[in-house]
Amino acid sequence: EYQENGPLFSELKFYQRAAKAGSIQKWKRDRGLDFLGIPTYWGSGLAEHQNLRYRFMAMDRLGSDLQKICESGGGRLKKATVLQLGQRLVDVLEYIHDNEYVHADIKAANVMLGYRDPDQVYLADYGLSYRYCPDGVHKEYKENPKKGHNGTMEYTSLDAHKGLGPSRRSDLQILGFCLLHWLCGSLPWDGVLKHPAQVQEAKARLMDNLPDSVLELSVDGAVTDEVALFLLHVKTLDYQDKPDYQLLKALLTKGVTGRLDFSVPAGSAGRNPRSRDKKAEPARTRPEPVEVDYEDPDRRKTKAVPARYIRGPPLRNDHPQQDPVPPAVRRTLKQRSRGAHEDEGSEEEAEARPKAIPACYLRGPPVSRGARPKQV
C-alpha cells in the first residue's frame, strides 16, 4: 500500500505492539490452547517505485475467506459451524483485548481459513483496530455524532453508531450480529443499509427486545437461542466492563465438537442472500445468436466483409491483433469442428487456415455515402 495508507499503518502497529510471537505462545500455554487464530507477522518495510513510496507487510499465506464460503452456501452456514466459529473468535478477541486492542471490523470477509488446514480459523485485517486501553487506562465514554456509524454497516456496534470509540463490548456485539447473519442468512436491517440512522434504530430494537427479537429470526434447522443468550450477556456490559469470555464460549458450546463443516445447510441450496433487497427487474431481451455451420461451406451464404467494418477496438502497432470471436463462441466452434479436422493435416496447418467470423460480430458496409454502417 502507499506509505500514507492509514489502515495499513494501524495494522502494522497492532502486530508490533500486541501480536508478537512470544506473547501469543505464552498466552496459549497459560490457557491450554493449541491454536490461536491471529495471522503470523514476519516483518515489514518500505519500498520505492517510480518515485512513489510503498509500505509492505510479510504475513503467513491464508486460504479462503468466510464470505466466499457463505455465498456459495446460499448465505448461510450450518448451526454447529457457526457456534464453533464463535468459540474460536472469542478466543482471538480475548487475546487482543488483553493486549489493549479491539478489532472493530469483524465480518466474514475478515475471517480466513488456513491455507493448508481449513479447520484453522484466523481473524485478519487489523486496519481498523483501536487501542482502547493505552497503558491500562480505558478510554472515556464520549459520544461524538460527527464520527457516528463508523465500520461495516451490517455489523457495526451501537457504540460506533453513536460515535464512541470501540470497546470490548463493541467487538462482542459485532460478533453477535455476525453469528446471527451466518446462521439465518439475513439481518432485520438488511433493507435499510443505505440509511445509517435506520440501521441504528433497528439494532437498538433488537437489543432492547432480547431474547425474543432474536429467537423469532430462527429458520428451519437453525434455532437462534445460543446467539440470543450471547447478545443478552453483551447487553449487560457497561462501556468499560471486562466481558466473561469463558461464559460466552460456554453459551456457544452445547456439545459442539469435530471439524468445521462448510457443506450447504438444508434449505439454502440455490438461494441468493442478496435477492431480498432487490426489486424484480423486467427481463432484458437480447437478439438470438446466429448459428452458422462452419463445417459445410455450401451453407455459408455471407460474403466476406472488409476488415475495416469488423467491430473492435483500434489496433496499435505495439499490440498483437486480438481474436474478435469471444472465448465462449471459440470453444463451441472448436468442439463442433474437432471431428471434421482431425485428419486434415498437421496442427500448424489447421492454425494457419483463416477462420470465418460469425455474422453477429460483423459490421456491414455503408449503404451510401454519409450513411452510418448498418449492423448485421
CATH number at 136 reads 1.10.510.10
Which residues participate in catalysis according to the annotation? Answer: 105
Q: How far, in Å, CA of 157 to CA of 267, rounded?
A: 30
* 221 phi-psi bin (left φ>0, alpha ψ -120 to 50, beta other): left
DSSP state of 189: T
Identify whether the C-beta of residue 177 lies closer than 8 Å to the C-beta of residue 187: yes
Q: Identify the pLDDT of residue 28.
A: 97
Q: Identify the pLDDT of residue 23.
A: 96
> Half-sphere exposure (CA, 13 Å, Cβ side) for 262?
17
- What sign results for the dihedral spanned by CA atoms 287, 291, 297, 301? negative
Residue keyed to cell 430462527: 218
Question: In terms of domains, do 306 and 261 share one?
Answer: no
CA distances from 201 to 71, 170, 189, 197 (A): 27, 16, 9, 6
Question: In terms of domains, do 176 and 317 share one?
Answer: no
Q: Identify the pLDDT of residue 360.
A: 56
Question: In terms of domains, do 248 and 332 share one?
Answer: no
44 falls within a domain: no
Q: Identify the pLDDT of residue 72.
A: 87
| Number of independent structural domains in the chain | 2
Which of residues 239, 273, 307 is at a domain's end? 273
289 falls within a domain: no
42 falls within a domain: no
Identify whether the C-beta of residue 175 lies closer than 8 Å to the C-beta of residue 106: yes
Identify whether the C-beta of residue 11 lies closer than 8 Å to the C-beta of residue 129: yes
Instruction: Assess whether the previous peptide bond of 358 is cis (omega < 30° from 0).
Output: no
Q: Identify the pLDDT of residue 195.
A: 97
14 falls within a domain: no
Question: In terms of domains, do 150 and 252 share one?
Answer: yes
- What sign results for the dihedral spanned by CA atoms 337, 342, 347, 353? negative
279 falls within a domain: no
180 falls within a domain: yes
Question: In terms of domains, do 233 and 343 share one?
Answer: no
- What sign results for the dihedral spanned by CA atoms 328, 329, 330, 334? positive
224 falls within a domain: yes
Q: Identify the pLDDT of residue 309.
A: 46
Question: In terms of domains, do 75 and 201 share one?
Answer: yes
Question: In terms of domains, do 127 and 216 share one?
Answer: yes
- Write the single-letter amino acid at 150: N
Q: Identify the pLDDT of residue 88.
A: 97
C-alpha 33, offset from chain centre = 28
Question: In terms of domains, do 263 and 350 share one?
Answer: no
Question: In terms of domains, do 232 and 334 share one?
Answer: no
Q: Mean pLDDT, consecutive 10-residue segments, the chain of 376 residues?
A: 84 95 96 96 92 92 95 89 96 98 97 96 96 96 93 96 97 98 96 97 98 93 91 98 97 84 75 43 38 41 48 49 48 44 44 52 53 50
* First and final C-alpha spacing in the chain: 48
The residues, ordered by sequence, that sit 6+ positions from 301 with a Cβ below 8 Å of its Cβ are none
Question: In terms of domains, do 205 and 302 share one?
Answer: no
207 falls within a domain: yes
Q: Identify the pLDDT of residue 368.
A: 52
What's the whole-model pTM score?
0.71
Burial of 239 (0-12, 13-18, 19+ CB in 10 A): middle
> In which domain, by residue range, is 338 found?
297-361
Q: Identify the pLDDT of residue 372.
A: 52
Identify whether the C-beta of residue 245 lies closer than 8 Å to the C-beta of residue 90: yes
Residue keyed to cell 447487553: 235
Question: In terms of domains, do 77 and 190 share one?
Answer: yes
Which of residues 213, 239, 273 is at a domain's end? 273
Q: Identify the pLDDT of residue 280.
A: 35
Residue 275 three-state SS: helix
Q: How far, in Å, CA of 69 to CA of 63, rounded?
A: 11
Give kind and range of the element (H or E) at residue 53: strand 52-59
Question: In terms of domains, do 210 and 91 share one?
Answer: yes
Q: Identify the pLDDT of residue 267.
A: 67
